[in-house]
């Protein structure tokens, strides 16, 4: 299983509603091409995990990089060999921009993840932190 985690900056006019609509099409594509993952939107930043066959992930990521609804696409991790994390989702979406108490706590924990990802690029540790922190939090 091949995985990429990247982060990018959303263009200011790309609203959560527009993101949601875009993902309706994305989910169909992903389902047809065996791609799963999740996408987190936080403080105008996307964090996306794509997983599937290497060729399919690379092909999709090539298209996503060219998408002008976001910019500054930076790969945090590419990993060949971890198991699939998001078996049941063609692309789970979490908008953590809200302000209720529950979301605030999730955001704080994800901030820890973002910080560790930024200081520890390319490490398996980042993948582990993603799995242990984001996955558990978001699947509850
Ligand atoms: C942050 C972000 C994440 C995206 N994730 C996916 C995805 O998981 N699957 C997908 O098919 N398209 C995704 N897209 C959309 C693609 O970039 C692209 O618009 C779509 O695949 C249609 O490509 P086309 O316009 O070349 O046909 C994403 C776009 C953005 C900005």
Which of 27, 135, 22, 31 shows the shortest CA–CA distance to 86?
A: 135
* CATH number of the domain encompassing residue 72: 3.30.70.100
Residue nearest to atom 19 of ligand 1 (CA): 67
pLDDT at 140: 42
The residue nearest atom 30 of ligand 1, judged by CA position, is 64
Token duo for residue 78: 């590419």
Q: Global pTM?
A: 0.79
Contact status, residue 47 vs residue 97, Cβ threshold 8 Å: no
Number of domains in the chain: 1
Q: Which residue's CA lies nearest to atom 17 of ligand 1?
A: 64
Centroid of ligand 1 to alpha carbon of 46 (angstroms):
13
Print the domain residue range for 52: 2-139
Residues with CB under 6 A from ligand 1: 8, 22, 26, 29-30, 39, 46, 48, 60, 63-64, 67, 69-70, 91
Query: Which 8-state DSSP code applies to residue 83?
Result: P
Q: Report the chain (140 residues): mean pLDDT per 10 consecutive residues.
A: 89 84 90 89 84 96 97 86 68 70 65 58 54 52
From atom 1 of ligand 1, which residue's Cα is the shortest distance away? Answer: 46
Spatial CB neighbours of 140, under 8 Å, sequence gap ≥ 6: none
**What is the atom index within ligand 1 of the atom nearest the CA of 35?**
8
pLDDT on residue 42: 76
Whole-angstrom distance, CA of residue 52 vs CA of residue 78: 12
DSSP state of 12: T
């Amino acid at each position: 299983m091949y995985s990429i985690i990247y982060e990018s900056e959303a263009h200011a006019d790309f609203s959560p509603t527009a993101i949601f609509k875009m993902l309706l099409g994305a989910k169909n594509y992903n389902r047809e091409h065996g791609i799963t993952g999740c996408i987190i939107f936080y403080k105008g930043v996307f964090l996306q995990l794509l997983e599937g066959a290497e060729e399919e992930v690379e092909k999709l990521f090539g298209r996503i990089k060219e998408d002008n609804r976001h910019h500054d696409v930076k790969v945090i991790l590419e990993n060949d060999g971890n198991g699939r994390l998001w078996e049941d989702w063609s692309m789970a979406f979490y908008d953590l921009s809200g302000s209720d108490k529950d979301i605030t706590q999730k955001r704080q924990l994800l901030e820890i993840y973002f910080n560790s990802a930024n200081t520890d690029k390319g490490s398996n540790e980042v993948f582990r932190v993603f799995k242990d922190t984001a996955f558990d939090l978001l699947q509850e």
